[in-house]
Amino acid sequence: MSIRYKIPLLLSIVLVGLVLLNMALSWKIILPSFREIEIEKAKTNVGRVTEAYYHELENLSSVVSDWSNWDDTYQFVTDENSEYVESNLTDTTFENLKIDFIIFANSEGKVVFQKGYNFNEGQPITDFGGWSEHLKTGELLTDYDENKSKTGLISAAGGAVVFASHPILNSLAEGPSRGTLIFAKYFGAKEIEKLAQLTRLDINIDPVAQVAEQKDRKALEALIVAKNPVEISEISEKELRGYSLIKDIYNQPALLLGINFSRDIYQQGSKAVGYFLIISAAGGLTVLAIVGLLLGVLVLGRIFNFNAKIAEIAQSKNFSKRIVVNGGDEISSMAANVNSMLESLERASSETEAEHQKAQSYLKVMASMFVALDSSGNVSFANQSAKEILGVATDEEIIGKNWLDNFVPQKIRPEVKKVFNDTIAGEKKSDYYENLVLTKKGEERLIAWHNTILKDGGGNVIGTVSSGNDITQYREQSEKEKEQSEDLKKANELMMGREMRIIELKKEVEELKQRLEQNGRKT
């Protein structure tokens, strides 16, 4: 690529890099800071709702305290007089106090009076299911003489109920206590709506057993397991949901408080970051254009002229020419270095010729077949000599093929596979190995291999490289010479045996002749 394009490309890369850096800083630092502010605000609002809930309990506690620290109540829990009921425990009382249940229990825990009236719907309540079980546990009763209330949440009468109980004392808040007075009301949709209006928040409160959505259940588990007072979940880029857990009087999870928040802060932050990135990109493009213009005039023009002169010398192959560049900067210094290089090129022609001869020698060495295999035995490289010996014409016929399955005869395949696998596993080193290979025509050629293993940067074996020579004819000639040598040896041994037998026969004839002569003299 020409420097004419590299410089603008480099400047563009720098510009893109700066934009990406700004994006990274924006998305990793600036936007997360908006997110943290938003989450902290959400936590604060969740805290406001829980505070409003506990404030409601305090109000209920204050009301029940006023009624329980009253001589009339102190007397009623003992004599159960009807005048007290007719005067004080009317439906209007429930509406004024905004409660649904009033229960009087004596000091033995026995209910002496109870009444239910739904002040929101204006209907009497006859369902007191569950109240007796809670009273039996004693958690709602106040068997003490202190001017102190109990408050909390229970499940009774078919729903979630908040209550406040207080010991029944005289008007001076003195004992002994004659029992417990309980004020309670449903903590349902109407109360949740009042909390939402009070806090101006989108509130949902569900019993723990009825939580169905996956995100809500995940937040519930986090609140229970991690024991966090508040959990914030990012529903989307436009919505957050804050959670808090309301426990019952037995300190067990009872209600899941959920509050939905619109992510106005995060959305504004995203817009601000977007504007910032657009302005940064526009400013960068302006700077890029100015810098490109200055480089073209002060640097690139001189470099292009310099390059044209070098091209002229290269085309003419006249290394005696020299380059003249005016100035005292790096470009003129580079011209001086090039002139020095041209002088060296003149002296290097003979050395170049010698290197050419070396290259020709290297090409001759490449007549050997070279094969590279991966760790599975698949061919990743094969030179021309290898393809010629195997009888294949194209790379598609060998590259990617399994060498052991396609180019090793069936009869020795298990043995060669074992050698290869041992080499890959590092259990055996086979620098030199001879084996038959199978050509495309089904012919077998004997190859003498010189092997080396390939390793990655971690020292793991990833394959092998092998150079091989076809020694089929050499081995056949050696076998023939060996057979001829054996035949000649046998012939020599036969000739020597015949000569030795003739000598023995001659010796036997001489001995026989001597015995005949001796016998003739005696006669």
Return the pLDDT at 13.
86
Whole-angstrom distance, CA of residue 15 vs CA of residue 34: 26
User: pLDDT digit string (tens) for 236-288?
Assistant: 888 888 899 888 998 899 888 888 888 888 778 787 878 877 888 888 788 87
User: pLDDT digit string (tens) for 138-153?
Assistant: 888 887 878 888 899 9
- Name which of 291, 367, 299 is nearest 327 in CA terms: 299
Sheet of 202-207, strands arranged across:
202-207, 253-262, 239-247, 231-234
Mean pLDDT of the chain: 83
Return the pLDDT at 85.
93
One-letter amino acid at 225 equals: V
Q: Quick check: 364 pLDDT over 60?
A: no
Q: Quick check: 446 pLDDT over 70?
A: yes
Return the pLDDT at 213.
86
User: pLDDT digit string (tens) for 37-75?
Assistant: 888 888 898 888 889 899 999 999 999 999 999 999 999
3.30.450.20, 3.30.43.10, 1.10.10.10, 3.90.220.20: CATH of 69-192:
3.30.450.20
Return the pLDDT at 170.
92
Whole-angstrom distance, CA of residue 329 vs CA of residue 195: 78
Return the pLDDT at 488.
66
Q: Which residue has the tokens 């426990």?
A: 247
What are phi and psi for residue 193, nearest 5 degrees?
-65, -40
Could you tell me how far CA 319 lies from the centroid of its own chain? 58
Q: How much of the chain exceeds pLDDT 90, in percent? A: 23
Which CATH superfamily includes the segment(s) 366-470? Answer: PAS domain (3.30.450.20)
Q: Quick check: 325 pLDDT over 50?
A: yes
| Identical topology for domains 69-192 and 366-470 | yes
Its sign, for the CA torsion 409, 410, 416, 420, is positive
Cis preceding linkage at 207, omega within 30: no
- Higher-pLDDT residue of 453 and 344 is 453
Q: Which residue has the tokens 């009774």?
A: 156
Q: Quick check: 380 pLDDT over 80?
A: yes
Domain locations in the chain as residue ranges: 69-192, 202-261, 366-470
Whole-angstrom distance, CA of residue 128 vs CA of residue 111: 12
Please give the full DSSP string across 422-455, using - where no structure is assigned.
HHHHTS---SEEEEEEE-TTS-EEEEEEEEEEEE
